[in-house]
C-alpha cells in the first residue's frame, strides 16, 4: 500500500516546510517537492498542517491506581485518541496485586491491550509493592521493552506510596540499567495531615481537595526528589508538574547539570481550581485529580516553563473514572473521591486551541512537547515522534480552519463526561495515519479495534545521551 500526502505544511520541533510525503507500508519513504508515484491513495493536504502523531506519555487505561476496585476505562476507548490526533501512548503498568513488575506488564500487553487498543503503546512500570523481587526485576525491565519506572511520593496509606528509602534505591538501581525514574512528587505526609484537619473541621466538599494539597506539598517533594537524583547522578522525570516552585526547582537542577526533566498536563494549562468550588458535587468531582488544579499564576508559569525548556512534555494523565458510579464514592468526603480525569482524546486539540492559536507556544514547541520529546525520553525516537524518512508513518493532517465546541457525544471517551465540555475548539485532525494505515478520514474513525501494537522502549534513551 502506497499513500501520497500532497501540499501540506509539515511541522517538526524545529522547522516547517511545504512538501509531500510518500508512505509505503508502515513507513515514510520519501519527503520532497512535487513527489509523484504510482500510489493507491492521494491525500490532499492543501491549507493543512501535517505533524507527527501525538504521543501521550502519561495515561492510565485499565489501571486500578487509587480508584478502588473498579477499573478505569478500557483500551478499546483509545479509539477517541485517534480522533483527537494521538497515535501512541506510554501507559502505566502498575504491579497487579501479588505479581511482579514484569508479569504485570506482560499480562497488560497480552491480556488487556491486545485486540483492543487503537493506538500503539509503550509501558512505564509502576511500583505498588515494595520487596526484594521488585528491585531484582528493575534490572530485567529493559529486556522486556520497558525503560522507565514510576514511584509515588503521595497517597499515604495506599499501596502506591513509596517511602524515601525506596525512592532513593529505585533511582540508584534504575540508573544502573539505563531506566528513567518517573516520580509523582507530592509530600504524602503533609497531605494526610491536612486532609484529616479538613475532615475534622467538617470541610468535606471537593474544594478541600485543593486546600489539602497546597503548592508547597508539590514544590517540597519535587525539591527532595531532585536532591536525591543530584546526589546519585541519576536521571529523573517529574510527572504532572503544576507549581511555579516545582518548575523553579527543575530549572535550578538543570543548571547544575542534573538530568532532571518534567511534564505538565493539559488541565494544568487550561483550567484553574475555581471549578472545584462548584456547589454541585458532580460538577466539582470531575476535576479532582492530583496534584490539584491551581490558580492562574501557576497556570501561566506552566506555559512559561514549556517555553524556557524547563518542562519538556504535555500529557493528559488520562484516567477514565466515571462520574455516576466511581466518583460518587466521595460524595460525603472529598478524601474518598478517586483521583484522576480523562483528557487523552482532547490533549492535541486543547493545546492547539489554547496554546498555538492563542500564541502561547509556537507550532514547533507544540510538536516538540506533544510528540517529539516524549518519543525521545521513552526510547522510541526516531521510530516515533518525527516526520522523517524511515520513521513510522504516524501522521496527523490537521485543519487549522475548523471551528467548533467540545462535545462528549462528538467523540465519546468511554465514560460519562469530558472535562473540556463546551470549550471552544480551534482546528482538528482531519486525517490520521497509524503506521501507514489511514485510521481517521474526514475526522471520522475508520480504523479497527486492536490496530495498535506494543512498542518496546529502548533503555539508555535521551537522558543518557553521551553517558552510556
Ligand atoms: O489524579 C491522578 N493524577 N490520578 C492518577 C494517578 C496519578 O497520580 O498519576
Ligand atoms: Zn513517605
Ligand atoms: Zn501521579
Ligand atoms: Zn498519572
Q: Percentage of the chain with pLDDT > 90?
A: 95
Contact present, 229 and 287 (Cβ < 8 Å): no
Confidence band of 67 (pLDDT split at 50, 70, 90) = low
- Cα 380 to the center of its chain, rounded Å: 15
Domain locations along the chain: 53-382
Confidence band of 25 (pLDDT split at 50, 70, 90) = very high
pLDDT tens for residues 225-238?
999 999 999 999 99
Confidence band of 467 (pLDDT split at 50, 70, 90) = confident
Please identify, by atom number, the ligand 1 atom nearest to the C-alpha of residue 154. 8
Mean pLDDT, residues 146-163 taken together: 95
Q: What is the mean pLDDT of the chain?
A: 97
pLDDT tens for residues 89-101?
999 999 998 899 9
ipTM of the complex: 0.93
276 pLDDT higher than 80: yes
Residue 221: which H helix or E strand, with range? Answer: helix 215-232
Tell me the residues surrounding ligand 3 (ion) with CB < 5 Å.
184
Instruction: Report pLDDT for 153.
Output: 98
Q: Give the residue, out of 150, 210, 240, 289, with the most ligand 1 atoms within 8 A of its beta carbon, to mutate for a pocket test.
A: 289
Residue 290, ligand 1, Cβ within 6 A: yes
162 pLDDT higher than 80: yes
Confidence band of 71 (pLDDT split at 50, 70, 90) = confident
Residue closest by Cα to atom 2 of ligand 1: 340
Task: Please list the alpha-helical segments (H only) found in 34-100.
Answer: 79-83
CA dihedral 67, 287, 417, 360 (to 10 degrees): -130
* Distance from the alpha carbon of residue 339 to the mean position of ligand 1, in angstroms: 6
pLDDT tens for residues 187-199?
999 999 999 999 9
Mean pLDDT, residues 444-453 taken together: 98
Cell 477499573 belongs to residue: 71
336 pLDDT higher than 90: yes
CA-to-CA distance for 180 and 160, rounded, in angstroms?
18
Instruction: Report pLDDT for 69.
Output: 66
Residue 132: which H helix or E strand, with range? Answer: helix 132-140
C-alpha cell, 61 = 487505561
Other Cβ atoms within 10 Å of 210 Cβ, number: 24
173 pLDDT higher than 90: yes
Please identify, by atom number, the ligand 1 atom nearest to the C-alpha of residue 288. 1
Output the CA–CA distances (angstroms, integers) from residue 71 to 56, 192, 454, in the order listed. Answer: 20, 24, 21
* Preceding amide of 128 cis, omega within 30: no
Output the CA–CA distances (angstroms, integers) from residue 455 to 123, 144, 383, 468, in the order listed. Answer: 8, 10, 10, 22
Mean pLDDT, residues 196-208 taken together: 98
Is-above-0.90 flag for pTM? yes
Confidence band of 465 (pLDDT split at 50, 70, 90) = confident
305 pLDDT higher than 70: yes
Contact present, 263 and 314 (Cβ < 8 Å): yes
Helix axes 188-200, 215-232, angle to 10 degrees: 160
Confidence band of 70 (pLDDT split at 50, 70, 90) = confident
Q: Percentage of the chain with pLDDT > 70?
A: 99
Other Cβ atoms within 10 Å of 370 Cβ, number: 31
Q: If DSSP codes are grouped into helix, strand and coil, which group holds residue 45?
A: coil
Output the CA–CA distances (angstroms, integers) from residue 18 to 33, 54, 233, 430, in the order listed. Answer: 8, 20, 43, 18
Residue 184, ligand 1, Cβ within 6 A: yes
Residue closest by Cα to atom 7 of ligand 1: 290
Mean pLDDT, residues 294-300 taken together: 98
Strand 395-405, strand 49-52: pairing: antiparallel
Does the domain at residues 53-382 carry the CATH identifier 2.60.40.1930?
Answer: no
Cell 462528538 belongs to residue: 410
Mean pLDDT, residues 377-393 taken together: 98
Mean pLDDT, residues 391-398 taken together: 99
CA-to-CA distance for 130 and 134, rounded, in angstroms?
6
Q: How many CA atoms lie within 13 A of 127 on its CB side?
A: 31
Instruction: Report pLDDT for 68.
Output: 61
HEC-encoded secondary structure of 249-303: HHHHHHHCCCCEEEEEEHHHHHCCHHHHHCCCHHHHHCCCCCCCCCCHHHHHHHH
Residues 432, 309, 173: CA angle, nearest 5 degrees: 90
pLDDT tens for residues 112-130?
999 999 999 999 999 999 9
Closest CA to 205 of 66, 339, 67, 331: 331
Mean pLDDT, residues 193-218 taken together: 98
Residue closest by Cα to atom 8 of ligand 1: 290
Residue 169, ligand 1, Cβ within 6 A: no
Q: Give the residue, out of 239, 290, 327, with the most ligand 1 atoms within 8 A of its beta carbon, to mutate for a pocket test.
A: 290
468 pLDDT higher than 70: no
Q: If DSSP codes are grouped into helix, strand and coil, which group holds residue 339?
A: coil
Q: If DSSP codes are grouped into helix, strand and coil, which group holds residue 378?
A: coil
* Distance from the alpha carbon of residue 150 to the mean position of ligand 3, in angstroms: 9
Contact present, 226 and 296 (Cβ < 8 Å): no
Amino acid at each position: 500500500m502506497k499513500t501520497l500526502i500532497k501540499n501540506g505544511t509539515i511541522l517538526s520541533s524545529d522547522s516547517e516546510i511545504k512538501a509531500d510525503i510518500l508512505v509505503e507500508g508502515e513507513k515514510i519513504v520519501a519527503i520532497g517537492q512535487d513527489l509523484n508515484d504510482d500510489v493507491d491513495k492521494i491525500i490532499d493536504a492543501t491549507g493543512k498542517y501535517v505533524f507527527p502523531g501525538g504521543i501521550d506519555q502519561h495515561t492510565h487505561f485499565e489501571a486500578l491506581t487509587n480508584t478502588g476496585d473498579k477499573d478505569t476505562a478500557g483500551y478499546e476507548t483509545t479509539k477517541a485518541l485517534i480522533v483527537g490526533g494521538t497515535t501512541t501512548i506510554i501507559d502505566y503498568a502498575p504491579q497487579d496485586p501479588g505479581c511482579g513488575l514484569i508479569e504485570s506488564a506482560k499480562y497488560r500487553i497480552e491480556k488487556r491491550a491486545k485486540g483492543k487498543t487503537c493506538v500503539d503503546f509503550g509501558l512505564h512500570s509502576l511500583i505498588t509493592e515494595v520487596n526484594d523481587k521488585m528491585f531484582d526485576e528493575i534490572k530485567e525491565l529493559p529486556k522486556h521493552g520497558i525503560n522507565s519506572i514510576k514511584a509515588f511520593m503521595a497517597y499515604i496509606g495506599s499501596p502506591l506510596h513509596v517511602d524515601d528509602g525506596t525512592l532513593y534505591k529505585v533511582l540508584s538501581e534504575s540508573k544502573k540499567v539505563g531506566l528513567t525514574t518517573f516520580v509523582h512528587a507530592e509530600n504524602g505526609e503533609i497531605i494526610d495531615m491536612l486532609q484529616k484537619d479538613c475532615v475534622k473541621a467538617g470541610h468535606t466538599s471537593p474544594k478541600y481537595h485543593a486546600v489539602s494539597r497546597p503548592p508547597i506539598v508539590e514544590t517540597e517533594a519535587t525539591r527532595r526528589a531532585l536532591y536525591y537524583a543530584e546526589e546519585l547522578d541519576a536521571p529523573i522525570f517529574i510527572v504532572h508538574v503544576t507549581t511555579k516552585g516545582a518548575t523553579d526547582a527543575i530549572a535550578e537542577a538543570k543548571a547544575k547539570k542534573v538530568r532532571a526533566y518534567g511534564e505538565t498536563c493539559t488541565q494544568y494549562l487550561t483550567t484553574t481550581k475555581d471549578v472545584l468550588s462548584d456547589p454541585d458535587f458532580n460538577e466539582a468531582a470531575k476535576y479532582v485529580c492530583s496534584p490539584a488544579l491551581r490558580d492562574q499564576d501557576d497556570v501561566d508559569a506552566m506555559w512559561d516553563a514549556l517555553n524556557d525548556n524547563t518542562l519538556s512534555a504535555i500529557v493528559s494523565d488520562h484516567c477514565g473514572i466515571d462520574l455516576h458510579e466511581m466518583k460518587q464514592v466521595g460524595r460525603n468526603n472529598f478524601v474518598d473521591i478517586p483521583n484522576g480525569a480523562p483528557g487523552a482524546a482532547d490533549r492535541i486539540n486543547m493545546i492547539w486551541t489554547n496554546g498555538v492559536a492563542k500564541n502561547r507556544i509556537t507550532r514547533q514547541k507544540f510538536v516538540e512537547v506533544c510528540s517529539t520529546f516524549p518519543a525521545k525520553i521513552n526510547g522510541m525516537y526516531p521510530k516515533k515522534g518525527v516526520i522523517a524518512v524511515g520513521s513510522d508513518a504516524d501522521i496527523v493532517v490537521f485543519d487549522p480552519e475548523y471551528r467548533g465546541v467540545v462535545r462528549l457525544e462528538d467523540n465519546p471517551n468511554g465514560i460519562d463526561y469530558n472535562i473540556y465540555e463546551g470549550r471552544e475548539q480551534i482546528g482538528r485532525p482531519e486525517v490520521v495515519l497509524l503506521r501507514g494505515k489511514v485510521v481517521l478520514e474526514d475526522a471520522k474513525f475508520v480504523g479497527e479495534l486492536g490496530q495498535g501494537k506494543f512498542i518496546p522502549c529502548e533503555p539508555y534513551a535521551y537522558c543518557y545521551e553521551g553517558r552510556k
